[in-house]
Amino acid sequence: MHTQAPLDAATVESLLAAAVAAPSIHNTQPWRFRLDPDRQVLEVHSAPERTLPLTDPMHRAQYLSVGAAVFNLRLAAVHLGRRPEVRLLPDRHTPGLLAAVRLTGPLGADDQPSDPGLYEAIARRHTSRMPFTGRPVPEPIVAEMARAAQSADARLHLPDIAGTRRLLRLTAAAEARNRAHPERSTETLTWLTAPGSDVSYGIPVTALGPPDAAGRMPMRDFTSPLPALRRPALFFERHVQLGLLWTPRDQREDWLRAGQALQYVLLTATAHGLRTSLLHQAMEWSDLRAATALPRDKRCHPQLLIRFGYGPDGAGTPRGPVHSVVRPAAPSASE
Ligand SMILES: Cc1cc2nc3c(=O)[nH]c(=O)nc-3n(C[C@H](O)[C@H](O)[C@H](O)COP(=O)(O)O)c2cc1C
């Protein structure tokens, strides 16, 4: 790779290492990066070979995942003393180009330094599919998570007990549909990987959690066609703490914003010692997705459910090699 000073190879590698640590649906890591060293721009492209045609036909979850990676890139840039200027969908003739991050120069004296706790949380955050303790998360932390979503142009709705039950019921309905859908179940299963296998994408079975022995928590069953892989059931927390991430509009750009908001919320939670996991099943069926919307807010476009609390850390998941995804920028007719 040839880069011109001052955007040296080590800097680019640090930026990309942070970006790819983002969560992505089924750990598909649906991004590719191209570096234009002359303009000091990192382009974030979609990776069409790593999509979920049945689970995510509109690519909304893919955009959320890429948005999360863009948020990490921004944090890493500031951490390295660079000012990131992000343009979402910068070229309508290149639909696969989802974001361009220009590193405009050193941070000025007036620039806000980002919270170092957030940058450090990038490497510590893992999806935890284990039961949480049920200890209530203090209000100021929850409020900080909601502010994080808002500052990234999304909203985090924190339902009361009845609202939480409703969202879990809708997620359970979606989960039941997914399991009864052989092609979707097979698609999900293809992203599971055996322990110790040398694969850089997908979810190792060691990162899965158990089903809820009480049947209340509709965690995604990645193993439904192969029940032998399923862990023994455990009791999950009775007091489930959920946030519904939503956006006031529902275009491609909003999904990228929602992804940035998602990562901001997850890192804020991680920095405070919380664990998180995601419940996306209801978003995969248009009627159930619509039913999760806030009845009193017409602008509410639900994007994802975030479960949070105190509990065991999640297991690590692999990532594609950082250096192999750096390419010189070049216009591509195929995108
Ligand atoms: C848009 C999106 C949807 C997701 N949906 C689910 C889900 O329904 N169930 C689940 O257990 N994990 C879900 N995840 C978490 C991913 O499986 C996880 O991020 C990925 O395996 C990488 O692992 P990590 O988060 O520990 O880095 C989702 C992640 C994203 C970004």
pLDDT in tens, 68-86: 999 999 999 999 999 999 9
Terminus-to-terminus CA distance in the chain, angstroms? 22
Q: How confident is the model at residue 2 (pLDDT cuts 50, 70, 90)?
A: very low
The answer to whether the CB of 260 is under 6 A from ligand 1 is no
pLDDT band at 328 (very low <50, low <70, confident <90, very high): low
Q: Does the reported pTM lie above 0.85?
A: yes
Q: Which atom of ligand 1 is nearest to the CA of 314?
A: 26
Mean predicted confidence (pLDDT) in 223-237 = 91
Does residue 278 carry a pLDDT above 90? Answer: yes
Structure confidence at residue 326 (pLDDT): 55
Ligand 1 centroid–CA 282 distance in Å is 14
Q: Boundaries of CATH 3.40.109.10 in the chain?
A: 9-118, 124-309
Element (H, E) at 301: strand 301-309
Whether the CB of 178 sits within 6 Å of ligand 1: no
81: left (phi over 0), alpha (psi -120 to 50) or beta: left
Q: Please tell me the class of the 124-309 domain.
A: alpha beta
Q: Distance (Å, rounded) from C-alpha 177 to C-alpha 179?
A: 5
Distance CA 312, CA 308 (A): 12
Give the Å distance between the CA of 2 and the centre of ligand 1.
34
Query: Which positions ≥6 away from 180 have C-beta within 8 Å?
Result: none
6 CA to middle of ligand 1, Å? 35
7 CA distance to ligand 1 middle (Å): 31
Given CATH 3.40.109.10, say whether it is the number of domain 9-118. Answer: yes
Residue 184 phi, psi (nearest 5): -65, -40
The pLDDT tens digits for 87-109 are 999 999 999 999 999 998 778 76
Contact at 8 Å (CB) between 73 and 19?
yes
* Sheet (strand 301-309) strand order: 155-157, 242-247, 301-309, 275-279
pLDDT digits over 207-218, tens only? 999 999 999 999
pLDDT bucket at 332, cuts 50 / 70 / 90: very low
Query: What single letter denotes the amino acid at residue 227?
Result: P
Q: Please give the C-alpha separations between residue 16 and each of 7, 90, 123, in angstroms, as whole numbers.
A: 13, 20, 12
Q: How far from 189 is each of 70, 130, 183, 217, CA to CA, in Å?
A: 27, 20, 10, 20
Ligand 1 centre distance from Cα of residue 280 (Å)? 8
User: Is 70 exceeded by the pLDDT of residue 184?
Assistant: yes
State which ligand 1 atom lies nearest to the alpha carbon of 262.
31
Q: Atom 28, ligand 1: which residue's CA is nearest?
A: 25
With cut-offs at 50, 70 and 90, classify the pLDDT of residue 3. Answer: very low
CA distance 151 to 313: 27
User: How many residues belong to the chain?
Assistant: 335
